[in-house]
Structures are given as C-alpha cells and as structure tokens.
Amino acid sequence: MQKMTSDAKMGNTEEVEEEVPTQAWPPKGYYTGDESLDAPVQATHVDAAAAKKMCADIGYFHDPWLQHIVPLHMCNRRLSPMMHRGYFTRVQAMRRSAEMFIRKSNPNMPVQIVNLGAGLDSLFFYVKENIKDWGRDMNDFTQFELDFPIIIAKKTRTMVRKKDVLGLKLLQGGVSALGSLGGIDENAEWTMAEEPKQVSEEALKKNFENGIAINSIHQVRQLCTEHLRFVGCDMRRPDELTRLLLEAGFNQRANTLFISECVMIYMQSSHADGIIKTANEICVEPSALTAFCTYEQCNPNTAFGRQMVHNIRLRGCPLLGIEDYPTQESHQQRYKTLGWKSASSLDMNGVYDEKIPLEEKQRITKLELLDELEEFRLIQEHYFVLVASNQESTEGLF
C-alpha cells in the first residue's frame, strides 16, 4: 500500500486550471472495502517496492531482501536520478525512525513495531540485522505487518516459499508458541481493552498450522513467525484493526512504534483519525515508550502541490486526507488532539540536510548525476516525516 508516485513528483509545476472536487470521491461504499474502489490504492505498494528494489540494485542503500520479496517482472524500470534520491531519503527516514525508537525504548520491556500498510516492505529484516547494534535483542522484538487481506495473502505465499533464504522460522505447534503476549478470545463479547486480554488457546489454536494463521474475519492465510506476524485487515475499521492485531499477539504493555509510510493520506480523514486514536489507546502501559511515525504528502495549495494532487487523482487514488490536514503544523495538532502528548515533524529537505550523514550523501552523489537539484528540493518540500509520542517530548525519536 506504500508509494511515492513518479507522476506526482515529476512534470509541470504550473497551476492546474481544473477545479478538483474534494467531496465527489470516493462514492458511497468506499468504507466497506469495495474491491473495485480499493484496487488503485492497493496497487501503490508495488510502485514503492519496485522503486526501492531498483535503488538497492544501484547502490543507494543496502537491501538484499527485496529481491526475494518483490516479483522480478515488477523491477525492470529504472527511474530518474531525482526519483532515486527521493526514495533514498524516504528509506533512510523510516529506518532512522526504527533505530532511534529502539535505542530510546524502555529496556525493561519488549519492543514491537506495527507497520500499517506495509505492502512489500523489508524493514523487518533491516531491524533484525541491526538490532544488536542498537542495544536490544531479537528475543525481545516482534513486528506486525498490516495491509489489505489480498496483499497479506500474496505476501504470505511469497514469504513461505522464500522462508529459508530469508531466514524465517515459522511457528510450529499452534498458538502455544506465542506464549502470553496478549490477544483476544473470539468467543467473548469484544470491546476496546483498557487492560490487556490474554490469548484463548482453545479459540486460537485451530487458526495456526505450520506457521500460517487463518484470519478470523477475512479467512486469508497470513504469515506467523516468532518475530514477524502478518495481519490482513481493513484498517479503516477501528474495531477490526484492534481485534485482529490483538489476535496476532500484540502486546499492549510493550514499547510500540507504529509506522505509516504514505498510507493514511489515501483515506478519508475520519478513517485515518480512527487509526491514530486507536494506536494511542491500544497501548496501556505508561512507562512503555509508544510512538507513531508517518510519512506523507503536504502543501496541496502551492502550484506544485496542486499539480501533485491532480496527477495522483488521475491514477484513481486521490489524496483524500490532504485538504483537511494540509500542513505539517496541522498534522502535529492532529496527533495531539487524538491523544498523543507530543509531535514534531520535518519536511524531506530537512531530513536530507539534517539527518543523513555527510559521508553518506557524498557517497550517493557519485552513483548518478543529478541535474534537477532545484526541482528535487521543490518536491521534497511536499513530503514530510512526523513523529508523535506518548511522552512529553519527541526528542531523540528522530
């Protein structure tokens, strides 16, 4: 579900004459997950994964895992140097958010990452490779990847086939392998938990077979390893999101980082607000660090911003939330209003200038010649990274 579209970032920056209606789309029924309406958004995860795979092949960053996750026929298009540098900055930002969170997490509690709209992302393997250098151990780490059920089912098939080369150990013996991480009793009346619920082994054991969990709502097969769990769900439904996440073994008392990489901007604001609020409420331990890192578009009212919004709308996946929260400041206030104690953000120029080491920038400039530096910086002004926290400050989280 992730993406940074090439046609949104490239092309004429002149103002768009056509008036783009903000309320005419989506039509009635979008909330229910109508496949014909969701398909364009679902397809965006392929764009992002293929672009990242190309960047890795060129040498922008280390990622030997995508070649086993992304179908080869999707990775044969080389983008412009400007696009590659944009993806480089994006990947560095999300990896940095994971590293800084893990370094700052409460050492007395386990760590988990919830990747919302994960698509074909490979962040789990990057964390696995580096977590010891960040002061933690894989024995204390779990990652949950959420996306549309059809995407989760397809990725599960791929990961099971490639489990040996990717070093994945599938859970055997059913839910007992999950221990007491927390979950939900499917036979009980379900409500938002103020206190952690425990897994009902009898209710869940039948859903686990050779490392594959059967989604209790959508009945799709989803990967279940000791440290990596897939969850197919419609995140626009807060009850469904919470239920399936708990069912997969989400620990409500662990340090938790929620990541949303170019995902919620495609939803109506009320649905994205529900996700942000749910993420804050599902974590019930005040002494555990909880954070939310999001990467999205902004500034729709500039000349380039109007063109960006127009181009993406033509692809059938309009930025439904960008008008309600058009600026970084509005996003910061959004998270605070929805229960997070602090929030801060940087546009992608700030990320590139301030957060990426000089030697790394010098290295990647030798990979490809970038002539369109002014256009690159113009584009980067229209994307940002925000970090929100359950602590009084986000200092040290990005």
Mean pLDDT of 323-346: 98
Q: Which domain does 255 fall in, by range? A: 6-389
Do residues 94 and 295 lie in contact, with contact meaning Cβ atoms separated by under 8 Å? yes
State residue 2's pLDDT score: 43
> What pLDDT shows up at residue 309?
96
User: pLDDT: is 175 or 50 the higher one?
Assistant: 50
- Number of structural domains (the chain) is 1
In a domain, 302, yes or no: yes
Among 126, 122, 116, CA closest to 69 = 122
Express each pLDDT in 140-191 by its tens digit: 999 999 999 989 999 999 999 999 999 988 765 443 333 323 333 333 332 3
Q: Is residue 375 over pLDDT 70?
A: yes
In a domain, 172, yes or no: yes
Between residues 20 and 113, which one has the greater pLDDT? 113
Mean pLDDT of 60-88: 89
**Structure-token pair, residue 89:** 């900055």
Q: Is 231 helix (H, G, I), strand (E, B) or coil?
A: strand
User: In Å, what is the CA distance from 188 to each residue of 185, 199, 207, 215?
Assistant: 5, 11, 17, 17
Find the farthest-apart pair of alpha carbons in the chain and give their distance in angstroms, rounded: 62
Mean pLDDT of 314-319: 88
Which amino acid is located at 371 in the chain?
D
Its sign, for the CA torsion 345, 52, 2, 258, is negative
Pairing of strands 383-389, 290-297: antiparallel
More confident residue, 373 or 37: 373
pTM: 0.83
Token code pair at residue 157: 């098939």
DSSP letter string over 285-300?
-TTS-EEEEEEEE--T
E strand or H helix that includes residue 214: strand 212-214
pLDDT digits (tens, 9 = 90+) for 91-104: 999 999 999 999 99
233: pLDDT strictly greater than 60: yes
Tell whether 398 is covered by a domain: no
Q: How many CB atoms lie within 10 A of CB 359?
A: 7
At 38, the pLDDT band (50, 70, 90 cuts) reads low
Task: Report if residue 191 sits inside a domain.
Answer: yes
Please tell me the predicted confidence (pLDDT) of residue 43: 61
Does the residue 1 lie in any domain?
no
CB 47 within 8 A of CB 121: no
Determine whether 381 is exposed, middle or buried from the number of CB atoms within 10 Å of its CB (0-12, 13-18, 19+). Answer: middle
The per-residue b/e assignment along 1-29, b for 16 or more CB within 10 angstroms, e otherwise, is bbbbbbebbbeeeeebeeeeeeeeebeee
Average pLDDT over residues 279-308: 97
Q: Give the C-alpha separation, 110 to 192, whole Å.
A: 22
Residue 23: pLDDT band with limits 50, 70, 90: very low
What's the mean pLDDT when you consider all of the chain?
Answer: 83
Averaged pLDDT for residues 11-26: 37
Dihedral over Cα of 311, 313, 314, 316: its sign: positive
Q: Does residue 293 surpass a pLDDT of 50? A: yes
Rounded mean pLDDT, 29-40: 48
Q: For residues 256 and 249, give the distance between their C-alpha atoms in angstroms, rounded to a whole number.
A: 13
Asked if residue 320 is part of any domain, the answer here is yes
- For residue 210, is pLDDT > 70? no
Mean pLDDT of 364-385: 96
Which tokens hold the place of 231?
A: 């969850």
DSSP, residue by residue, 1-68: -----HHHHSS--SPP-S---SSS-SPTTGGGT-HHHHHHHHTHHHHHHHHHHHHHHHTSS--SSHHH
pLDDT of residue 178: 37
Structure tokens belonging to residue 105: 């997490």
Q: Which of 4, 79, 62 lies closest to 370, judged by CA? A: 79
In a domain, 362, yes or no: yes
Helices (H), the chain: 6-9, 35-42, 44-58, 66-69, 81-104, 123-130, 149-161, 163-166, 201-204, 238-247, 269-282, 303-314, 328-337, 348-350, 358-365, 373-380
pLDDT for 44 equals 66
Residue 394 lies in a domain: no
Q: Taking residues 209-215, what's their average pLDDT?
A: 77
Does the pLDDT value for residue 90 go beyond 70? yes
- Give the least confident one: 36-50, 66-80, 232-246, 381-395: 36-50
Ramachandran bin of 298, using left for φ above 0, alpha for ψ from -120 to 50, beta for the remaining angles: beta
Mean pLDDT of 300-304: 97
Q: Give me the CATH number covering residue 23.
A: 3.40.50.150
